[in-house]
Chains A and B, each alone.
Chain A
């Protein structure tokens, strides 16, 4: 049944060639002969009475040959004739790929688009920020507008559900800092300072930074994907037409949850890190667990706690806003959801780290060392 299509070229008395097709000229058997058929240069008639089977693609090949060679088709069965009639209007000179620009105009064009995109992106981000701030004021003036149920749900998703993973991570990071610090400080016989190192680093920097990265990965991406999907399925538009402000209903609960929870989670993470360090101190450095903790109270200034607690809500705001903003910007197709989700995480983490550097300089300038 899988016999391929064949053809022969017969020279006729009058000098014109006769192309005789036989076998099954269908899409599955066509490829072996197609290139050779295309190479045929001249024929005056195409004899197709020997064909056992033809489909639309076969009919197209026959028609194209007759058109390009200016040849007559002979011996067509009624079905073949019908198929040829059906396919002969094919506009095979149409462009099937979107036209591509030449490099000379494409490169400046793309640079220009990137610049304009950057400008309009900044504008849109500012507009979004403004919309969120206005929504916050509306809610402050009229607290009953706050979606308590949605907020509580987000608090659980962002905060409570992340407790285990963040605790685990912080504990291990605490152990690592203490261990690495101890190795270095031992060289000066100063391994007791491991406590200072672990405590200050955890409260000032690592607790909140690690938490921010984890929340960006867990929740920032989820915000972008959820809101993005809702945009695609027109749920956001439906909200607007009903008179529900999507910023109030979708964005505010998420952003507030992020701000509150990142503050709390950052503190929680610092505490667990210190416990991790204390466990290592007990096991590897011979510093009793309780001593480690009571020393923390003496060597870590309370300012360090404040530094961590100030950074937490700011990072939370950035992550929540980035996630929701990218989600709200989804348009067109499902691929965009993936792109925007990635962007939400990458930009969120990047901005957090940049801001963390600013904070470091800021706090050192105002003397919060």
Chain B
């Protein structure tokens, strides 16, 4: 499997397995094409990391998938529905995914609890106030925030807490699919590691599919099932990290085998024999301290 996976945007997979399917995506800004014939498939219930140098259009790709960025050509299918066409399905597709933007994008005039309830009130306005209250507490707890944060306004929270609050809102509707745009960028290594284990935990308990844009090598090693590499306006490779490291593409080599990539890898291997039990993920802070790139590589 290793040889072909690491070289090609794989043409297809079993139909029912794909949660996101992108074919021949073209995004142009004026004369400049950001994506030119990009294809990518994400399987149900996996954590797919997306990496690429600055300006390779990772965020544009995410925005194309969730329908914020009208694309020029190609097809994007999410949860079995074609994007870019009028959505007249009875279950609105937007109730089935959650999005965490880079800065959290919390509504600044609402408290954290009210932020979490915005999607719920939008989709299920008939729920009782008691249940709204309980769901708000539940999601705040799931996202790892202390209970008293629920009544606070976004401006009273730290950057890491704001991201967790954004995650709580993204989880509000119990989505099948979660989009995360650089969730650990700008966090200190301890918070970043905490966020990683939180995402992995949620992935395991809730069976979430996670589309994860990141520059954080530790995050990639720690939680991603597969990694897609964006370069030359395409997805040049998709696969697990060992598979990717066999690729001879210079950017991939430099990314994973460069000093930071090696540090992240070795710290992961050092830790492996000790404690790699599933569900036992609340520990990686120590190893993250010595190697975490912190933010954008």
Binding site for B on A (CB under 8 A): 2, 26-28, 30-31, 34-35, 38, 55-57, 60-61, 64, 79, 82-83, 85-87, 89-92, 94-99, 332-335
Quick check: A95 and B138 within 8 Å, CB to CB? no
Q: Say whether B127 faces chain A, with CB atoms less than 8 Å apart.
A: yes
Chain A residues whose CB sits within 8 angstroms of the CB of B155 once the complex forms: 332-333
Quick check: A60 and B108 within 8 Å, CB to CB? no
CB proximity of A80 to chain B, nearest CB, Å: 11
With CB as the reference atom, state the residue of chain B lying closest to A54: B174
CB proximity of B168 to chain A, nearest CB, Å: 11
Chain A residues whose CB sits within 8 angstroms of the CB of B138 once the complex forms: 56-57, 60, 87, 90, 92
Report Cα–Cα, A95/B113, bound state, in Å.
9
Number of B interface residues in the complex (CB < 8 A):
40
Chain B residues whose CB sits within 8 angstroms of the CB of A98 once the complex forms: 111, 151-153
CB proximity of A31 to chain B, nearest CB, Å: 5
CB proximity of B83 to chain A, nearest CB, Å: 21
Decide yes or no: A56 and B133 within 8 Å by CB, A35-B128, A86-B205, A97-B113 being known contacts: no
CB proximity of B105 to chain A, nearest CB, Å: 12
Quick check: A94 and B150 within 8 Å, CB to CB? yes
Q: Say whether B245 faces chain A, with CB atoms less than 8 Å apart.
A: no
Q: Say whether B126 faces chain A, with CB atoms less than 8 Å apart.
A: yes
Chain B residues whose CB sits within 8 angstroms of the CB of A82 once the complex forms: 205
Q: Considering the complex of A and B, which 10 residue pairs feature the smallest CB-CB distances, nearest first?
A: A96-B113, A333-B108, A55-B174, A94-B147, A91-B147, A96-B150, A90-B138, A86-B205, A92-B137, A92-B134
Report Cα–Cα, A28/B125, bound state, in Å.
11
Quick check: B174 and A57 within 8 Å, CB to CB? yes
What is the interface of chain B mostly: helix, strand, loop, or mixed?
helix
Chain A residues whose CB sits within 8 angstroms of the CB of B174 once the complex forms: 26-27, 55-57
Contact among B113, B126, B142 for A56, CB-based, below 8 A = B142
CB proximity of B201 to chain A, nearest CB, Å: 8
- Additional A-B contacts beyond A89-B141, A333-B155 (11; CB < 8 A): A27-B174, A31-B127, A31-B131, A55-B174, A56-B171, A57-B138, A87-B138, A90-B138, A91-B141, A95-B150, A332-B108
Interface centre among B108, B150, B174 (most CB of A within 10 A): B174
Report Cα–Cα, A95/B91, bound state, in Å.
32
Quick check: B151 and A91 within 8 Å, CB to CB? no
Chain B residues whose CB sits within 8 angstroms of the CB of A333 once the complex forms: 108-109, 153-155
Chain B residues whose CB sits within 8 angstroms of the CB of A95 once the complex forms: 148, 150-151
Chain A residues whose CB sits within 8 angstroms of the CB of B126 once the complex forms: 31
28 A-B pairs within 8 Å (CB atoms) are namely: A27-B120, A27-B174, A28-B123, A28-B124, A28-B173, A30-B127, A30-B131, A35-B128, A38-B128, A38-B130, A55-B174, A61-B131, A83-B206, A86-B205, A89-B141, A90-B141, A91-B137, A92-B137, A92-B138, A96-B136, A96-B150, A97-B111, A97-B113, A97-B114, A97-B151, A98-B153, A333-B109, A333-B155
Contact among A57, A85, A334 for B108, CB-based, below 8 A = A334
Contact among B114, B139, B173, B205 for A83, CB-based, below 8 A = B205
CB proximity of A96 to chain B, nearest CB, Å: 4
Report Cα–Cα, A79/B133, bound state, in Å.
24
Chain A residues whose CB sits within 8 angstroms of the CB of B60 once the complex forms: none
Q: Say whether B135 faces chain A, with CB atoms less than 8 Å apart.
A: yes
Chain A residues whose CB sits within 8 angstroms of the CB of B108 once the complex forms: 332-335
CB proximity of A69 to chain B, nearest CB, Å: 16
Quick check: A56 and B206 within 8 Å, CB to CB? yes
Q: Within residues 245 to 289 of chain B, which ones have a CB less than 8 A from any CB in chain A?
A: none
Q: Say whether B102 faces chain A, with CB atoms less than 8 Å apart.
A: no
Chain A residues whose CB sits within 8 angstroms of the CB of B136 once the complex forms: 96
With CB as the reference atom, state the residue of chain B lying closest to A29: B124
Report Cα–Cα, A165/B84, bound state, in Å.
42
Q: Say whether B95 faces chain A, with CB atoms less than 8 Å apart.
A: yes
